[in-house]
Every structure is written in structure tokens, then in C-alpha cells.
Amino acid sequence: MAKTIKKGKEVSLESVLWDCRVALRGVGTTEKNRDAVISLVFLKFAGDKFEKRKEEIKNEHGDIPMVCEKPAFYNAKNVFYIKDTARWSYIVENAGANDIAIIIDQAIADIEDMNPSLKGALSLNLFANLGADKSKIKNLINNINQIDEEVFHEEDLIGRVYEYFLRLYAASGTKEDGEFYTPSCVVKLISELIEPYSGTVYDPCCGSGGMFVQSIKFIEAHHGNKKNISIIGQESQAETWRLCKMNLAIRGISHNLGEKNASTFTEDLHKDKKVDFIMANPPFNLKNWRNEDELTNDARWQGYALPRVSNANYAWILHMISKLDVSHGIAGFLLANGALNEQDDLEIRRKLIENDKVEAIIVLPRNMFYTTDISVTLWILNMNKKATISNGRKLRDRTHEVLFMDLRTWDNNIDEIMIDKNKKKKKVILNDMQIKNIKEYYNNWQSEEASRYKDVPELCKSVTLEEIKANSFSLAPSKYIDFVDHDLDIDYEKEMIRIQSEMKDIMRLEKETQKLLINAFRGIGYEID
């Protein structure tokens, strides 16, 4: 029988996933092993929520089988109804069975069949084709069973598992998926800045759904109502589209990801849809996103130059602009730093700035992503920078102004993760206090009370359209943020006296060493002077 987690025992998710990797060593590809682990994590998570809801129903209505097994009582609380042979407890009890692979596959199929929101989200017949013997699957179940729902229910659990396997890709260099999963601290920063309290949140390249999960967590953290938010998104990769559906469905987050995975550029599944918020991390510097003669007259580029085929950065920007509500839409998204002043995109960038769509440019520290060490930029676009009231705050007119921030020196917080035996990977993270400070600078800059904001050398500066024009429409913060010449703070007289004293000591020691050397050679009958 599979082991049950001890009450109160703290187990890190990474340590569990490490043990899962060990259990599946030599079985299959990283992708298949990832899907196997994610599927079991899902079954465990869904099973825990089911059992918790079942206890609530018993307490409310009594232990009446007809009531306790009624799907409507579970669906009403955004909990999946799970038949007895698909429950995690049943899988644990049968972990050592000869047909455990079939049991798991059937459980996954049954859950999908009973819960329409999961249609297409789960990997069917995965374990039958995995190639793992029953002992390995049992070991895998034992490990997954250590994940305590009470500990991890607030986390982006599916996303974290997916992220873990992305690290493996990064370590082995077999796949470049770093752009598709955004570090949770960065997603939190975006949500804190754009404040998606109510309305529609859109992500045109939604990956495993981390942006959506974080937007809901933002609402809950600020005592809002998640029912006031609707989620729409699109994802081109089939596997990540499936993961996103799973990630959102297991949390009871209603969503519209389209009927299938598809390219946002060539097959926009939400055409003509206007949204209130956009949170996104598009693939960096995507090449060949369209053919040369394709989408040349697309409505999304209207009023702007045609985005080039060799780099999709500004195609993403124009796509997002086209989706934002013209009266109040706000977007927060990431791009590689090259987009700030790339000459090939100058005409589009110039128009964006002249049309006053850019509100803030924030350069993040290096080494925040698992598969790249480059510094990336957080862009804030705002369709209305005029004076208004937003979430109880009085905002001033920021027309033809842009806030620039440079956070590249905020790299002191290091998260260290075990990638493989004797191999660790380090990444920079932003802690809650740093995120709070960034938000404070941004909100103070927006505030009607002008005295609340001041430019800070080497950190932030408010810049006018005229200044940006004078710098050839570059959006690189280094062009505007004041640099402090720290040499001016040096007392040269004092420093020269210190250096003089040190040089005297060095020369004295050199003479003494030379004398000792001469005497040593003389002692053995040789003169060297």
C-alpha cells in the first residue's frame, strides 16, 4: 500500500518532484515523464478537493449515499465530481496492482467524461504507453502522495510542476521554453501594477496559465470578488494549451481558451474581442511568425507600419493594442530589451509613443528566467493616461509622459534550485517588499498629489514626449535615468594620503624581502648583489 503523508510533515514540492524523477529514471522522455507527474498531481489535487467537499456535504446533510454522491453538490462549489474508481484514495489503495497503469488511465478518462470543463485538458492513455513497470508507478504514486493539499492549494501547483520540468530543459539545453513560463514574482509584479480587480483579463500566449492564476490571487489578496473577472486566452502549443485548461479548471476558474490551440497571429480565436487587461509574456524575438505575403493588410496593424517577419516583438504589441478597450484598457507584458531601441522597429515605436500608449518601461534584473540570463523589460501600456479615479486613487493627467525604471541592480535575492545530482541552478527573484516598493513608485508617479513622486538617480525618472523625441524615440531607460558619478563623492586628498601610506609599506616590505634574499644566497657562498 502506498504511504500516506504524516500530519504536519513539511515536504517541499521540489523534493517530491526530484523523487519522481528518480522513480522514472530510464523510463521515457522528459516530456512524457512530465505529463505523467502532472497527471498524478492533478488526480491527487482533484481527489483531495473532492474528499474535503464530501466531508462538508456529510456535515450539512448527513452520511446519505444518494446525497454524498450527487455531482451537483460538488459542481456548485467548483469541485469535480469523481466516481469511486477514479478517486485518489482508490489509486493509492491499488498502487501495487498489476494493472495500475490501466487504473490510472481509466481514472483520467472518467474524470474528463464527468466534467466537461476538462475536455481536452488531460492526457489519455498516457500510463499504458509510458513504458514504466508497476513498481516504478507505485513509487511514483508514493511520492505524489506526499504533496499535501493544505500546503499547496494556494499555489500555482500545475504551473510549478511544469516550471520544474522547464528547468530540466534549460539544464540539458534540449528545449528553449523559458519564455512560456514566467517566474511567479514577475507575474505578481504585473498584476500589482495593472490591478485587474474586475473585467476581462486576456493573455494572447497564455502558456500553462500562470498569469491567470496570479490575477485571481491578486483579487483574493485584496479582498475582491473573483467572479468579477473573466478569463480569455490563446496558446499555440497543444501541450501547454492542455496544461492551462487543467490549471484553470482545477481551481474552478471559468475561462475561454478557444476550442483548440492555435497561433494568435494567423488564427485569432477571439477576433474583435475588446478586453480590460492584458498580462503576457510572448516568446522573445519570435522569427517567421508569418509568411512574407501573409497578414500584410491585417486590421491589427492599421495606422502603424507592417511588423517585420524576422521578429514578432512589435507584432505582439500591436496585437495587444488592438485588443484593449479604447477608453481604459491596460496591458502589462514582457519583451526582450532589444525591443526598446531596435532600429528596424523605429517607425512602429515612434507611432506608439506619439499616440501616447506607453505609460511605463521597467527593466528587470538579469537571471530571472530558467532558460535565459538576459535582462528583460516590463512594458505598461495604457489606453487612457488622462486624469481619472482608479480603484479609489485619484490619478493625474500623464499625457505625453512615460515613467522609466531600471531594476538591474535589484539582484540580491537568489533562489537556488536542485536541477540534478550535484547540480544547482540559481535565479534572481523579487521579494514582496521589492514588489511593494516598485508599485509605490509607480502609483506615486500616477498620483494627483505631485509631491509624492520624485525622480531617483539610477532608479527612476519621469520623461516627457519631447525628451523621448530628442533621443530618437528610444525607450531604453539608460537614455533618461540620471547616472551618479560616484567618483565625485571621493575625498581625493584623503585617498591620496591613504594610497601614499600603503605604497610606503609595500616599498619597505620589498626592500626587506630583497635584503633577506641577498643574505640567504650569501650564506651558501653565492653573491647576487
For residue range 132-180, what is the model confidence (pLDDT) as tens digits? 999 999 999 999 998 876 666 555 667 677 667 666 654 444 444 444 5
| pLDDT given for residue 184 in this prediction | 83
Q: Are 307 and 318 in contact (CB under 8 A)?
A: yes
Answer yes or no: is pLDDT of 478 > 50.
Answer: yes
Q: How confident is the model at residue 310 (pLDDT cuts 50, 70, 90)?
A: very high
C-alpha cell at 418: 536542485
Q: Cα–Cα distance between 69 and 65 in angstroms, integer?
A: 6
Among 144-158, 161-175, 365-379, 436-450, the minimum mean pLDDT is found in: 161-175
> Could you give the 3-state DSSP secondary structure of residue 328?
coil
399 or 165: which carries more pLDDT confidence?
399
**What does the pLDDT look like over 314-363, one tens digit per residue?**
999 999 999 999 999 999 999 999 999 999 999 999 999 999 999 999 99
Task: Give the model's confidence band at 502: pLDDT under 50 very low, under 70 low, under 90 confident, else very high.
Answer: confident
The Cα-based distances of 197 to 215, 221, 222, 230, 292 in angstroms read 8, 11, 9, 11, 40
> Mean pLDDT throughout 407-411?
94
> Could you tell me which of 116, 264, 137 has the C-alpha nearest to residue 204?
264
The whole-number average pLDDT for the span 61-80 is 88
The DSSP secondary structure of 293-312, one letter per residue, reads TSSTT-GGGTTSPPPPTT--
Three-state SS at 288 = coil
Contact assessment for residue 219 and residue 228, using Cβ atoms and an 8 Å cutoff: yes
What pLDDT sits at residue 232? 96
Whole-number percent of the chain with pLDDT over 70: 89
Separation between Cα atoms, residue 178 and residue 368, nearest integer Å: 10
Q: pLDDT by residue (tens digit) across 191-216?
A: 999 999 899 999 999 988 888 888 88
Mean pLDDT of the chain: 87
- CA distances to 192, 241, 471, 500 from 179, rounded to whole Å, are 21, 15, 30, 53
